[in-house]
Amino acid sequence: MAKKKQIELTIEEKLQNALVPKEEQPYKIPNNWCWVRLESINKYKSETLNPKNAMEKMFELYSVPSFDNKYPEILIGKDIGSNKYIVKKNDILLCKINPRINRVWQVYQHTNFGQICSSEWIVIRNEILNKSFLRYYFTSEYFRNRLCENVSGVGGSLTRAKPKLVQLYEVPLSPINEQQRIVNIIESLFAKLDRAKELIENTLAQFEQNKMAILHKAFTGELTAKWRKENNIDLSSWKDVIMQDICEKIVCGKTPTGYISKTGEIPYLKVYNIVDNKIDFNKTAQFIPNKIHKEKLKSSILKPNDIIMNIVGPPLRKIAIIPDNYPEWNMNQAIVRFRVKKDVMYKFIYYILIYPKTLDNIINKTKGVVGQANISITQSRNIQIKLPTVEEQQEIVNILDNLLAKYNKIKNLEQQLEKIELLKKAILAKAFRGELGTNNPDEESAENLLKEILAEK
């Protein structure tokens, strides 16, 4: 039986299908803009690459780290499968699969050869609309959240957005000249923010470099060379020890299933409570009953000035001193405790554990399941250090406290990086609400632009 001929819709009928009904529009936009379905402006038609006839110099887009990167890494396609799709210059790619779901990229072709992408991308193509306008909208917080609303899979890296639903998502369409004005404002503001971000990152990198240099001097004896000379002490006073020699029994914690709650008597620490080598117990506070603390978890009781370290990663090297907010704490099995004995300064041990060289050998030998790295209790007990006299330990701690206090003020610049990202989100939100002050209400309505696009589909 012959297939029925598809009825051709009129432009007005296509327009009606393309426009988003008022009750479904996400937020208010200028009167000469219009909300449209993504599918109505997407002219991409799947063109699958035949591996048998693939060009020898076909390039595959395989790594798209973030929407800020215009140019991808490219790889000559040697093992090209049938699930690869040919894309063209200026196509917009929306990643639909975790862990890169909702990342956006615009194809910039810098060879004379074709380019292909795998089926993990939703491809958007439109020769009429401003490509950067589309790319910036797809990176806006609203659309990124929208993309993650309807995902399928069992969770984690297997979740993916549903392309058919994505094609029905809303796009705020402005007149073509307004699109360019919006892009100009965004790129001008982003350029200034990126310059500020670069300066902050360079300052922080220099801070880390200086910090590592100071710690190196501290634990090789260079930092206190003058002090030893003044006190007639030789470097031979430094003794080779392992952690179990200078600490009470080194143990990890346990997970008291069924007894952890958001309120309670004894604060209970997990690895995520160690932030920037300090205890952060504000955002994700958890507690256990005092009875469980004193009985089932008696071996892993924590007291102020104990030092803890995570032994399950990545990342490893998370170190912290237990503060005195509470008289006692407890911890889970991914954390190990160091409680120093007499004639050992807890802060000296804290600083020497932060010093990268202390843990390098152990971390290089860590074992774990795929994607995980573990330090054993035995390895923790056998961490090797050089221990000076308690008097020199005190001198080292005093110097480090003073020097690093100054650097910690610089470390606060990290908060400015967060503010820059928030500013970018705010700029994009205003841009696609028509709130950047660039819209001309006398310009031709975006509906006419939409009709032009629909006439070519």
What pLDDT sits at residue 82? Answer: 44
**DSSP letters along 265-278, please?**
SEEEE-GGGEETTE
Give the separation between CA 132 and CA 187, rounded to whole angstroms: 10
Question: Residue 1's beta-bridge partner residues?
Answer: none
Of the candidates 387, 404, 424, which is a domain's last residue?
Answer: 387
Residues 130 and 30 in one domain: yes
Task: Tell me the pairing of strands 335-338 and 251-252.
Answer: antiparallel
Question: Using CA of residue 289, residue 294, residue 298, residue 303, what is the dihedral sign?
Answer: positive
What are the tokens at 267?
């604060």
Same domain, 46 and 171: yes
Pair (59, 141) in one structural domain: yes
**133 with 251, same domain?**
no
183 neighbors 136 (Cβ within 8 angstroms)? yes
In this prediction, residue 47 carries a pLDDT of: 63
Does 44 map to a domain?
Answer: yes
Is the Cβ–Cβ distance between 221 and 227 less than 8 Å? no
Q: Among 364, 387, 410, identify where a domain stops.
A: 387
Would 407 be classed as within a structural domain?
A: no
Burial class of residue 277 (count of CB atoms within 10 Å of its CB; 0-12, 13-18, 19+): middle
pLDDT at 408: 72
DSSP 8-class letter at 32: T
The answer to whether the pTM exceeds 0.85 is no
| Domain shared by 281 and 370, yes or no | yes
Digit-by-digit pLDDT tens for the chain (457 residues) are 455 556 788 989 999 999 999 999 999 999 999 999 999 999 988 765 554 544 444 444 444 433 344 444 333 333 344 455 677 778 888 888 776 676 787 877 543 334 555 567 788 999 999 999 999 999 999 998 888 887 776 555 557 888 889 999 999 999 999 999 999 999 999 999 999 999 999 988 998 898 899 999 999 999 999 999 999 999 999 999 999 999 999 999 999 988 999 998 999 999 999 998 999 998 789 999 999 999 999 999 999 999 999 999 889 999 999 999 999 999 999 999 999 999 999 999 999 999 999 999 888 877 665 557 899 999 999 999 999 999 999 999 999 999 888 777 777 788 899 999 999 999 999 999 999 999 999 999 999 999 999 998 7
Please indicate, yes or no, if residue 139 is contained in any of the structural domains.
yes
Instruction: Give the Cα separation of 346 and 303 in Å (integer).
Output: 12
245, part of any domain: yes
Do the domain assignments include residue 252? yes
Give the total number of structural domains in the chain. 2
- Spatial separation of the C-alpha atoms in residues 106 and 112, rounded to whole Å: 17
pLDDT at 8: 81
Q: Examine residue 277 and state whether it is found in any structural domain, yes or no.
A: yes
The CATH number assigned to the domain holding 251 equals 3.90.220.20
Statement to judge: residues 373 and 445 lie in one domain: no
Strand partners of residue 338: 307
Asked whether residue 415 is assigned to any structural domain, the reply reads no
Q: Domain range for residue 380?
A: 239-387
Residue 220, domain member (yes or no): no
pLDDT at 153: 65
**Residue where a domain stops, chosen among 387, 416, 431:** 387
Degrees to nearest 5, angle at CA 350 with 407 and 335: 120
3-state secondary structure of 419: helix
